[in-house]
């Protein structure tokens, strides 16, 4: 049986990066690691991948009712699995699926849950865990301890942990678990899936993000930001003010009410650095800011910064990156 259960997410037969990161988090805790893979299709490569990334056991729950959108069926299947294997802790990613499943699963298991965590660790010499999460818009960190017995549910932000190394020689077990699901339980019926055409790298997976704020003054500069993002092999993001102004779609919004990212490089251009914005990007390894106001909050968070008008800086910055790229190719 396993001590830590990672709730896996997968797309087109492969593990999502968030699940790989959760396996990185699980390896820092003591105990056997399990991964739950729920699918409405035949078993794909994600079980194999999980073992190569350090899972001791993969529980595959296959049922036509387990469509990605059928959250009620997922909760019931996971509740049955958890009651069967009784893990100490359950890790989910802060994705649309994980943020929805986590509280529902904790409720069903009558246990505690910590949402939006940036760390999970074990209290020494015990199986109890504590989680760390930003509070007050990212201005403080809270340490969450759990009352009572587990399993304790922890939802972890993407980008918090590095995925473990992949080792095809790892040995693990794949167990098929049959869940008892009742179609009457499904309150939501999925009629159709429409995939938004994907251009470039997903914001959550980008190692470099070029983020534009209200200081850009309009939608057109986002084309320049996109050019720079392409040169950096990254993605474009935006502050809520830029999205609210209609300059760019809200799917690019970073912050408390947008996406949470943790790239190696976060380039903030014309972004003031309000706490609600920083709540979505403080996990970035290097924040670089261009802002005309030397007193802007973003400079408190930035590792490097340029005080000035982005219009006078960005073109030569892009040219320099292009030249450096050419030198290295
Ligand atoms: P501003 O605060 O207007 O800053 C623009 C910056 O551009 C300024 O610092 C200015 O000096 C600089 N600038 C202007 N002209 C130039 C120039 N030519 N060259 C260089 N710099 C220039 N915000 C988010 O981003 N994400 C969220 O998820 C989010 N959630 C929120 C949730 C709640 C409940 C609330 C209350 C607010 C939320 N906000 C969020 C809004 C947040 O408080 C800020 O209003 C917002 O982040 C400001 O965006 P901004 O930095 O682009 O704009």
CA of 93 to the centre of ligand 1 (A): 27
Q: What is the mean pLDDT of residues 212-218?
A: 98
134 and 116 in contact (C-beta within 8 Å)?
yes
Q: What is the mean pLDDT of residues 269-277?
A: 95
Closest residue CA from atom 48 of ligand 1: 241
Query: pLDDT confidence of 158, banded at 50, 70, 90?
Result: confident
Q: What is the mean pLDDT of residues 142-165?
A: 90
Closest to 156 measured CA to CA, from 295, 308, 4: 4
Q: What is the mean pLDDT of residues 127-136?
A: 88
Closest to 185 measured CA to CA, from 101, 70, 266, 107: 70
Count of CB atoms situated within 10 Å of the CB of 282: 18
As for ligand 1, residues whose beta carbon falls within 6 Å of it are 213-215, 239-242, 253-258, 270-272, 274, 276-277, 280, 290-293, 296, 309-311
Among 7-16, 117-126, 186-195, the minimum mean pLDDT is found in 186-195
Angle formed by the axes of helices 96-109 and 71-85, nearest 10°: 50
Asked if residue 138 has pLDDT above 80, the reply is no
Percentage of the chain lying above the pLDDT 90 cut: 75
Statement: the pTM of the whole predicted model exceeds 0.85 = no
Closest residue CA from atom 15 of ligand 1: 215
Asked if residue 186 has pLDDT above 80, the reply is yes
Asked if residue 198 has pLDDT above 70, the reply is no
pLDDT tens-digit profile of 5-62? 999 999 888 999 999 999 999 999 999 999 999 999 876 789 999 999 999 999 999 9
Distance of alpha carbon 237 from alpha carbon 274, whole angstroms = 15
Classify strands 4-7 and 89-93 as parallel, antiparallel or unpaired.
parallel
């Amino acid at each position: 049986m396993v001590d830590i259960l990672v709730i896996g997410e997968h797309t087109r037969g492969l593990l999502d990066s968030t699940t790989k990161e959760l396996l990185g988090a699980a390896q820092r805790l003591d105990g056997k690691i399990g991964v739950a893979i729920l699918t409405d299709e035949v078993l794909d490569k994600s079980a194999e991948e999980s073992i190569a990334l350090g899972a001791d056991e993969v529980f595959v729950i296959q049922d036509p009712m387990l469509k990605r959108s059928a959250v009620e069926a997922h909760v019931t299947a996971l509740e049955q699995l958890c009651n069967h294997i009784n893990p100490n802790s359950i890790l989910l990613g802060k994705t649309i699926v994980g943020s929805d499943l986590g509280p529902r699963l904790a409720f069903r298991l009558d246990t505690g849950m910590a949402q939006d965590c940036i760390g999970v660790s074990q209290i020494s010499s015990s199986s109890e865990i504590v989680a760390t999460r930003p509070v007050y818009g990212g201005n403080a960190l809270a340490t969450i301890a759990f009352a009572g017995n587990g399993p304790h549910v922890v939802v972890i932000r993407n980008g918090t942990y590095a995925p473990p190394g992949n080792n095809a020689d790892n040995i693990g077990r794949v167990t098929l678990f049959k869940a008892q699901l009742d179609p009457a339980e499904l309150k939501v019926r999925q009629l159709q899936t429409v995939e938004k055409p994907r251009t470039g790298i997903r914001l959550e997976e980008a190692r470099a993000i070029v983020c534009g704020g209200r200081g850009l003054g309009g939608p057109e500069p986002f084309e320049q930001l996109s050019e720079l993002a392409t040169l950096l092999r990254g993605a474009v993001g935006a502050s809520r003010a830029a999205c609210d102004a209609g300059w760019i779609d809200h799917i690019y919004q970073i912050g408390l009410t947008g996406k949470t990212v943790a790239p190696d490089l976060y380039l903030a251009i014309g972004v003031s650095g309000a706490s609600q914005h920083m709540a979505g990007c403080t996990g970035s390894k290097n924040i670089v800011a261009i802002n005309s106001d030397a007193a802007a909050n973003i400079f408190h968070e930035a590792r490097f910064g340029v005080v000035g008008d982005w219009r006078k800086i960005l073109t030569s910055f892009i040219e320099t990156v292009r030249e450096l790229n050419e030198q290295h190719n």
